[in-house]
Amino acid sequence: MRFDIVTIFPRMVEAALGEGILARAIQRNVLTVRARDLREFTEDRHRTVDDVPYGGGPGMVLKPEPLFKAVEAIREEVGAPQAIVLVSPHGRRFTQAEAGRLASLDRVAILCGRYEGIDDRVREQLATEEISIGDYVLSGGELPALVIVDAVARLIPGVVGDEDSVAGDSFSRGLLDYPHYTRPAEFREWKVPDVLVSGHHGEIRRWRKRQALELTLVRRPDLLVDAELDVEEQEILRELMEAKKGAAHGRD
């Protein structure tokens, strides 16, 4: 899979790509990510990428021409991207399901805004979709682009060493992940749950499922509506709901 990220801060993007799982995937050619400097697609001596807003008001706006040129250069070099994503607070909220959808594509371009935003003709005429990473405003699209690349890359086979680890991650089946522990078994008087050191694989599996379900039921019941549960999980969930009902009655 290949990402082309158009930004005025390519080094910011490259720095994040140089560490950890993403760096390894790039090194092994499972993933290609290219940060493209928007200023290279300007034609004036000052390499101007922004200008004042029509109608007045504060701040600067990214000009359309360099962004259109950048996408044209990407098209010429590597072929047309299957998605041209504009990262923006106005976009559809990014979720694990959205990450899965993008992971099925081969070539994705991401356009990063800065300042007050981007000339709206880029959204209308160039971008194929708009994605927001959450209801807050950042100073630029670089962190959102990196969030998207990271979440999508984890879903590409071969990027995360252990496929089971991705399958068990929060949201992958509509459940939050169960709690994890490592050595020592006792740390400052706080013990690891007994079942985890018991060696009973069946019980460990059931404990983890119960923890994941309970955590999801308490923190994010909204996720359970679309969760894909196996028979054992459905049974545990029923028990948990009964217990909850019982507790509610007890209070009456």
Residue numbers at the binding site for ligand SAH (CB under 6 A): 87-89, 112-114, 116-118, 132-134, 136-138, 140-141, 144
Q: What is the DSSP string of 79-116?
A: ---SEEEEEEEEEEEP-HHHHHHHHT-SEEEEE--BTT
Q: Which of residues 38 and 133 has its CB atom nearest to ligand SAH in the complex? A: 133
Q: Which of residues 89 and 168 has its CB atom nearest to ligand SAH in the complex? A: 89
Minimum gap (Å) between residue 213 Cβ and ligand SAH: 31
Minimum gap (Å) between residue 42 Cβ and ligand SAH: 18
Minimum gap (Å) between residue 140 Cβ and ligand SAH: 5
Q: Which of residues 63 and 210 has its CB atom nearest to ligand SAH in the complex? A: 63
Burial class (CB in 10 A: 0-12, 13-18, 19+), 215: middle
Minimum gap (Å) between residue 4 Cβ and ligand SAH: 16
Q: Which of residues 9 and 206 has its CB atom nearest to ligand SAH in the complex? A: 9
Minimum gap (Å) between residue 191 Cβ and ligand SAH: 41
For residues 119 and 117, what is the distance between their CA atoms, to the nearest angstrom? 7
Q: What is the DSSP string of 106-151?
A: SEEEEE--BTT-B-HHHHHHT-SEEEESSSS--SBSHHHHHHHHHH
Burial class (CB in 10 A: 0-12, 13-18, 19+), 119: buried
Report the SS3 class of residue 4.
strand
Q: Which residues are catalytic?
A: 89, 116, 154, 169
For 20, the token pair is 């950890």
Burial class (CB in 10 A: 0-12, 13-18, 19+), 247: exposed
